[in-house]
Amino acid sequence: MVEEPDSLNALLDQFKKISGHKLLVHGGGLTATVISEKLGIETKMEEGRRITDAETLEVVTMVYGGLINKRIVAALQARGMNAVGLTGADLNLITAHKRPVKDIDYGFVGDVDDVNVSELRLLIEENVVPVVAPLTHDRTGQLLNTNADTIAAELATELSNFYKVFLFFCFEKKGVLLNPDDENSVIYDLNLTQFNEYKTEGIISAGMIPKLENGFRAKMKGVQEILITNPENISTGRGTRLI
């Protein structure tokens, strides 16, 4: 979504149309996979989440915190939106701990402990657009790869203590699809019971699972509205709404 010039431009053109204070959280997994392949580093995924060994952590830090983040910041500046690129380590924004090993060893993957938006709010109030890469830290100097949807949900939840927050999860489809082969089978309203049923039936799978889990968690913690949609519709409000 943020890795191809055409889709990034489409996203940011619509992003500009959204009124009010804004914050953008991005991923970059496809680019990380391509760079890893060029470097001879195997990519391993589990339920839409990247297994992050030490070499992979170096790749995602370069890709997420560097290449993708600064490309988005520059593109926002070109559209007249003053922006700043951040990771969870900057401004002590997001602290996390290394995920404990249970059935799967995810490596240097972080589960969020704390979100500190005090300095972030100063930027937002100055109409600066924070662009946040999906990296956190553990207070001991260790960077951790953290799911972008998790970071978006955690930031939205914390900011909902101060603002009316609308959270948009943006990807290539028009919304969550009842039939993955039918682009028009959008589930326009989705509740938690339906989500669990569709997950059990395999209708909802892979990377959509953490996206929705994070979305429902944020909804239950006070985020005003959550929409899953594509770039063309983030300013129209069409897509899958979590209820």
pLDDT digits (tens, 9 = 90+) for 142-198: 999 999 999 999 999 999 999 999 999 998 899 999 998 899 999 999 999 999 999
**For position 97, what pLDDT does the model report?**
98
Mean pLDDT for 74-88 is: 98
**For position 2, what pLDDT does the model report?**
77
Question: Does residue 225 register a pLDDT over 80?
Answer: yes
Question: Does residue 1 register a pLDDT over 70?
Answer: no
Q: In the predicted model, what is the mean pLDDT of the chain?
A: 94
For 207-240, b/e burial (b = at least 16 CB within 10 A) is bbbbbbbbbbebbeeebeebbbbbbebbbeebbb
Structural domain count of the chain: 1
Mean pLDDT for 77-100 is: 98
Structural domain of 162 = 5-242
Helices in 91-175 by DSSP H: which ranges? 118-125, 148-159
Residue appearing with tokens 């972030």: 120
Is residue 47 within 8 A of residue 209, CB to CB? The reply is: yes
CATH number for the domain including 222? 3.40.1160.10
Summarised one tens digit per residue, pLDDT across range 45-66 is 887 679 999 999 999 999 999 9
Mean pLDDT for 218-239 is: 92
